[in-house]
Amino acid sequence: MAQVQQSKLSFPLMIMAFLTIGLFVWWLSTASESTEFALADEGAEAALVDAQQLIANPGAFEDELVELTSVEVEDLLGTHVFTFGSEEVDEEEDAEPARFLVRLDPDLIAAGLQVLPEDQVRLVGNVRAMSDSILEIWDAEAIFVTDEDRDTAASFPHFLHATEADVLDSADGDQTEED
């Protein structure tokens, strides 16, 4: 008699288990949050920042929308990533070179923006903290030419995700502007 009673309960318990799992999966999908970067609103005003201020204290501008009126492209680490600043090091202070990393938004590249070393560029974008997950995303996008370029990018604690860029004065003599 106990086996008959047990077989009568197994089907309703199985249905109840499936419903419980289904409700749990539904709750997870509605409760989870997106981990994408929130870019600045269209109407948001960028803070005008001096390039040396940004290089000296990037943490003060983290997650802020900033505008750099003119920086000189120093090194290209692929079509999407470059550095600006000074490669020179003060030997007496034994300091690191005063440089900063910039990631051009893929929409800028798709619009035809191309920067070359020694170009003068106006940039608007968000300052972000560098992380291993960001580097993995960049690797998946194949934006680095060499592993050395990736290692160079990994050495920066912050970067500027540029959503607007204008080439003010091109090193090759052309005056190109992209927005």
Q: pLDDT of 85-97, one tens digit each?
A: 876 544 444 455 5
Percent of the chain with pLDDT strictly greater than 70? 79
**Which residue carries 């318990």 as its tokens?**
13
Confidence of residue 175 (pLDDT cuts 50, 70, 90): very low
Domain boundaries, the chain: 1-32, 47-169
Tokens linked to 70: 């003119």
pLDDT per position as a tens digit, 40-67 = 555 678 888 888 889 988 989 998 899 9
pLDDT per position as a tens digit, 25-35 = 888 877 765 55
Strands, E assignment, 18-80: 47-48, 65-76
Per the CB < 8 A criterion, the answer to whether 83 and 72 are in contact is no
For 162, other C-beta atoms within 10 Å of its C-beta total 23
Prediction pTM value: 0.67
Tokens linked to 108: 């800028």
Closest CA to 71 of 108, 115, 114, 39: 115
Per the CB < 8 A criterion, the answer to whether 52 and 100 are in contact is no
Please give the mean pLDDT across all residues of the chain.
Answer: 81
Residue 179 is predicted with a pLDDT of 43
- The yes or no reply on domain 47-169 and CATH 2.40.50.140 is yes
What lies within 8 Å, CB to CB, of 130 at 6+ separation is 101, 153, 154, 156, 157, 158, 159
